[in-house]
Amino acid sequence: MTSPNRGLPRQVAYLIKWVILALLIGSLAGALIWVMQSGVTALSDLNRSPYPYNCLFPILAGFIVGFVIHRIDPVASGEGGPVYIHSAQRRGGYLEPRTVLLYLVGVIVVLGLGGSGGFVGPACLVCGGAGGFLFRKLRFLSRLLRFRKADLRLATVCGAGAGVAAVLDAPIGGGIFAVEVLYAASIEYEGVFPAVLASITGYSVHSLMSGGFGSPYRHGTLAFSPTLMPGLLLMAVLAGLLGILFVVSFKKVFDTFQKLSRWGGWRPVVGGLVCAVVGIALRGRTLGPGRDIFMEIVNPGIALPLSLLVLILVGKIVSNTFTVGSGNPAGVTLPVLMIGAAAGNIVASLLHASDPAHHIAFVATGMAGMLAAVLNVPIAAMIILIEMFGTSYAVPAVLGSIIAFTIARSEVVYRYLETEE
């Protein structure tokens, strides 16, 4: 039987195939992120205990992860991004459906019960796995769309990009992130078009389901002035150094827990315990994804005390590294962005940046710098921050990404999170 598109030029057939696949995979990923976030919100809403008892629930999450989820599938643990990278680099994009499902449950449990982490790494694993799974179920279209064996890998990348876009409200940056994070010193251009198309779809579907389009982080536009340059350069350097501090701290915590292999299921419990202690010390400000406190840090109209910002910065490093480093399913990206925002807020206050737009410029530089430094994604970092704050903040985003990445490129967090499947 002759394939219906055999007469089509190769480029046209490629375009048709990936438009269809990216739309389907992106839609599934956007819906999955909505499910993940809704599950976390529903579980956290059940935690109505008064302070400080509400801060103890990460310990319960550690028990569930260590003695239930890890007993079924040890791979369903940690940050999520390394499992996605391992799948794309060594397994042709294949992820076990059981791992994907258990990891989704684990993320909801950990973040819903107050574990310190974010959604980006989990989005890569869960949505990347879902994208690959959907591709395998569409085999009946293989003759029509000229599927190749290598397309499974691209389908996984598309799912990851769509999930990241939905989490960060970054319809273009999400796709770039999913491609760029795969390699330390290069970007795979073949995957950019499908991944970005899927990420735009994932963002759109998630926005429809959650009830709002557009970035919630925008607070006006920046009229850039050269007088800002010294301060922004200082902020970019600081972001690079903080990125190194975060990665080194993570490595030490991760390596310590790896050496405690005889502890088995108790390792996530210990991670939850440390997270609980930090949460009690900071009255819950470091628990869970921390979206509310993150929005306060980013908002130039809310003046948080410098001492509190420093405590949040340090507390988030400690609580997140112990949560994820001990094997609890959660991400590092949102905590990293919070740390960068807190650092930018501190520098803006110390330099008396009273103009709200100038304040945001320092915050954007810190966030872009931390993201690029910790995860080795300078291009994605600048695009994501421009999508968050608007094109007028392009200079701070680019400065932060390039300078911090250059300073910290030898210390990348995913390099230390080896996985075995």
CATH classification at residue 250: 1.10.3080.10
* Band of pLDDT at residue 349, cut at 50, 70 and 90: very high
How far from the centroid of its chain's Cα atoms is residue 127's Cα? 12
The per-residue pLDDT for 264 is: 86
pLDDT score recorded for residue 419: 46
Same structural domain, 367 and 236? yes
- The domain tally of the chain equals 2
Average pLDDT estimate for 253-277? 93
Residue 329 φ/ψ region, left for φ over 0, alpha for ψ in the -120 to 50 degree band, beta for the rest: beta
Question: pLDDT tier at 417 (50, 70, 90 boundaries)?
Answer: low
Instruction: Report yes or no on 62 lying in a domain.
Output: yes
Residue 47 lies in a domain: yes
Domain assignment of residue 373, yes or no: yes
**Cα(405)–Cα(416) distance, rounded to whole angstroms?**
17
Give yes or no: residues 73 and 194 share one domain: yes
- Give me the residues paired with residue 118 across strands: 331
Instruction: Give me 29's structure tokens.
Output: 């990923």
Residue 104: burial class (beta carbons within 10 Å; 0-12, 13-18, 19+): buried
Residue 340 structure tokens: 């960068």
Rg for the chain, CA atoms, rounded: 21
The reply to whether 273 and 168 lie within a common domain is: no
Same domain assignment for residues 203 and 243: no
Range of the domain at 137: 10-210
| Nearest-5° Cα angle at 285, 283 to 288 | 120
Looking at the structure, do residues 402 and 260 belong to the same domain, yes or no?
yes
Does residue 135 lie in a domain region? yes
Report the alpha-carbon distance of residue 365 to residue 396 in Å, rounded: 5
* Residue 405, domain member (yes or no): yes
Torsion of CA 149, 154, 158, 161, to 10 degrees: 150
Residue 3 domain-assigned?
no
Give 53: exposed, middle or buried? Use CB within 10 Å, 0-12, 13-18, 19+.
exposed
Residues 144 and 39 in one domain: yes
pLDDT tens across 172-222, in order? 999 999 999 998 767 888 889 999 999 999 999 999 999 877 778 887 889
Report d(CA 241, CA 253) in Å as an integer.
18
Tokens of residue 57, six digits: 């629930």
* Residue written as token pair 């030029």: 9
For residue 73, tell me if it sits in a domain.
Answer: yes
Same-domain check for residues 143 and 118: yes
Half-sphere exposure of 139 (CA within 13 A, CB side): 4
Whether residues 284 and 357 fall in one domain: yes
Identify the pLDDT of residue 8. 58
Mean pLDDT, residues 280-289 taken together: 93
Tell me the three state secondary structure of residue 331.
Answer: strand
Average the pLDDT over 414-421 and give the result: 54
CB 99 within 8 A of CB 82: no
Taking only the tens place, the pLDDT of each residue in 72-117 is 999 999 999 999 999 998 999 999 999 999 999 999 999 999 999 9
210, 236, 258 - which closes a domain: 210
Residues 168 and 293 in one domain: no
**What is this structure's pTM?**
0.93
pLDDT (average), residues 366-371: 98
Are 273 and 135 part of one and the same domain?
A: no
CA angle 378/384/385 to nearest 5° reads 90
Q: What is the dihedral of CA 32, 34, 35, 36, to 10 degrees?
A: 90
Q: What average pLDDT does the segment 229-254 reach?
A: 96
Residue 305 pLDDT exceeds 50: yes
Give per-residue pLDDT as tens, 313-348: 999 999 999 999 999 999 999 999 999 999 999 999
Q: What residues have CB less than 8 Å from 226, skipping those under 6 apart?
A: none
Are 204 and 239 within one domain? no
Within a domain: residue 5?
no
Same domain assignment for residues 82 and 197 = yes
